[in-house]
Every structure is written in structure tokens, then in C-alpha cells.
Amino acid sequence: MVSGCGNSSPPLARSTLDRAAHRRTDLQWLAQAWAGARVLVLDVEAGGRALVRTDTAVPELVLVAADDLPPALAVGAMFLGVEPDGAPVFCVHGTLPAVPETRPAQLRNVGHLLSDRDAGLFTTALALTNWHLRHLYHPVTGEPTRADEAGWTRVDPTGERVWPRTDPAMIVLVHDGVGGGEGRCLLGNNATWPSTKDGRRFSCLAGYLEPGESAEAAVLREVREEVGVEVSDITYAGSQAWPFPGSLMLGFLATADPGCPLRLDPAEIAEARWFSRQEIEAALAGRPVEVGDARLLLPPPSSIALFLVHRWLDGHC
């Protein structure tokens, strides 16, 4: 059975921007809008960093006036939408401007700290940017493409067009269905995540949806393939973009029997184990939880994986 799971949102599922899609083909309006636009500058050479303010209690995304940028940047500007006060917002690729009391930051490190408005802007800009960087040629004709429709399509010399793509992936927090302090959840250490001096990271199980497959079927398949466990009571919890480079993470919770032996796929999972609520709460509080010869590290705060962990801890599902 699949059901909904509360109303709170994952950290990168927040936005206040009106995307105003009807403006993307209005060249006259776009030209006028650029003159008074707020612009987010992304440094793609530095991993998609943007400027955030350091003189505020929480990080704030820095947008600059279009007039303060080199005119050449207007050619590749991507129209993101219109703010509640009517101001148009664009994104450009370039060297980050010098702005006092700011620092460059990556979305994965600050996304959870940003306001709904800033989280939505940064996530959309990075997702769109990564799509452009990976679609310089048309997948059917092989011809080079150029950005069109204010950055929301690409077109080749023959007129063949491509639109932004998002790869759907499922991610699931598997738990035993037991309430209170005795409850446990199943987390895995991916084979590509080596231990560091800080510890060993464990997270929810995840994988891409295959052609012809529903998200729920992918949950069943991926958990079975990665750790050899059968799950039930699949509950949808929410989704968020994960633009590294272009995924949509569909979050679920599901139950399984901790008494069943784990059979790991070594190509995917280096280690998996059941953790008690007390262990997870201790790790979140910064207290050491040992996993073999290392300390337990949980998923980063901007990830939907940590959102799912909190949903389970709080007993929402």
C-alpha cells in the first residue's frame, strides 16, 4: 500500500518564485526585463558556486543588478522567473563578482540553511545549468545545440529542439515499524564512499528508476538488489530535486524484518546495518556512535535522506 506522509517539505523542495513560463518566448519582454533584473551568478568552473552573505544570521543568496555585470553575460542569461514584487530573476555563468561580506558556497552545503526563496532559486539555477552543460549536442541528429527560449530549451541548426531532462530516482528509509526507542532503521554505506578521518557515512538506500518501472516497484527492486531484504508498507514522503547533476529524488519509507539476513551487493553497498533510534539520535546530537573502526556519519543536511531519517525519528509514518 502507498500513501501520503505529512506536509513538511524536504530542504530543496522549497520555492516562492513564479516561473512565468509564458515569458520565455517573448523576446521583447525578456530584453526589457534584463535591464532591471536581479541576477544570480553561478561559477560553473568552481562546481556551481554562488555568493552567500556572511553578515546575516543565516546565509542569504546574493543577487546582483544586471547593470553591474559585463554586457556579454546577457547573451547566455537564463530566465528563472518573477519575484512576488514583480522583479525578474535571471541566472548567468561567470566569475563571481566581488561583494563585501560574502563567500562562495555550493548548494549541497547551504541549501538547508537558505530561505524558501533562495533555496528554490539556487536549486533551479543549478539544475538548469547542469542540463545545459550536458546537452551541447542533439541526441538524435548529433548536431551542436544552442540555448533558446530564455535558457529553457536547446535547438540545433535544423530546428530540432530538446527540453531539460530530470532523472527520477527513488530513495527509501527502511525501518522495522517499531515505535519508541526500540525501533530500528536500515542504513547502508555505499561502495564509493570511503571512510575518512571524520568517520563512515551511512545513508538511505537509493537508485534510479528503470524504463517501464514505477517508483514503488523501484523501491522493492533496489532494496532487494542492494541488501537482499523484502520491504512492505511503502509510504511516499516527498520529493526534491538533487541537481548533481540532474535527479529528482522520490522519497519513501518502508518496513522490513530486521531478522532477515542481509545479502549485500558488493558493487553497490560496502556495509549495511540496522541502527536503533538511540544511535541515530546520538549521532545527530554529535555524540560518537561506533561503526566498526569508524564513527557514524549521517547524510548531509540538504539531502532528502536526512529528511527521511527525521520523518522516521519523529514518528510521522
39 Rama sector, left if φ>0, alpha if ψ -120 to 50, beta otherwise: beta
Is the pLDDT score of 5 beyond 80? no
Q: The pTM is what?
A: 0.93
Of residues 170, 223, 203, the one with CA closest to residue 300: 203
pLDDT of residue 180: 80
pLDDT band at 179 (very low <50, low <70, confident <90, very high): confident
Alpha-carbon distance 59 to 148, whole Å?
32
Tell me the CB-side half-sphere exposure of residue 44, using CA atoms within 13 A. Answer: 17
Residue 208: per-residue pLDDT: 98
pLDDT tens, 186-204? 999 999 998 888 899 999 9
pLDDT tens digits, one per residue of 84-138: 999 999 999 999 999 999 999 999 999 999 999 999 999 999 999 999 999 999 9
Per-residue model confidence (pLDDT) at position 127: 97
Q: Taking residues 70-89, report their average pLDDT.
A: 94
Provide the percentage of residues in the chain whose pLDDT is more than 90.
87
Give helix 304-313 / helix 277-284 axis angle, nearest 10°. 130
Mean per-residue pLDDT, 264-269: 96
Confidence of residue 3 (pLDDT cuts 50, 70, 90): very low
| 316 band by pLDDT with thresholds 50, 70 and 90 | low
Alpha-carbon Rg for the chain, nearest whole angstrom, is: 22
| Distance in angstroms (rounded) separating the CA atoms of residues 11 and 119 | 8
How much is the pLDDT for 317?
54
Could you count the other beta carbons within 10 Å of the beta carbon of residue 161? 13
Tens of pLDDT, residues 298-315: 999 999 999 999 999 988
pLDDT at residue 46, rounded to an integer: 86
Q: Is the peptide bond before 245 cis (omega within 30 degrees of 0)?
A: yes
pLDDT at residue number 8? 79
- In angstroms, the CA 37 to CA 173 distance is 42
212-229 pLDDT tens trace: 999 999 999 999 999 999
Q: What is the per-residue pLDDT for 207?
A: 97
DSSP, collapsed to helix, strand or coil, labels residue 219 as helix
Cβ–Cβ under 8 Å, residues 1 and 297: no
For the ranges 46-50, 77-81, 125-129, 236-240, the lowest mean pLDDT is seen at 46-50
The whole-number pLDDT of residue 72 equals 87
Local confidence band at 1 (pLDDT 50, 70, 90 cut-offs): very low
Residue 2, pLDDT > 60, answer no
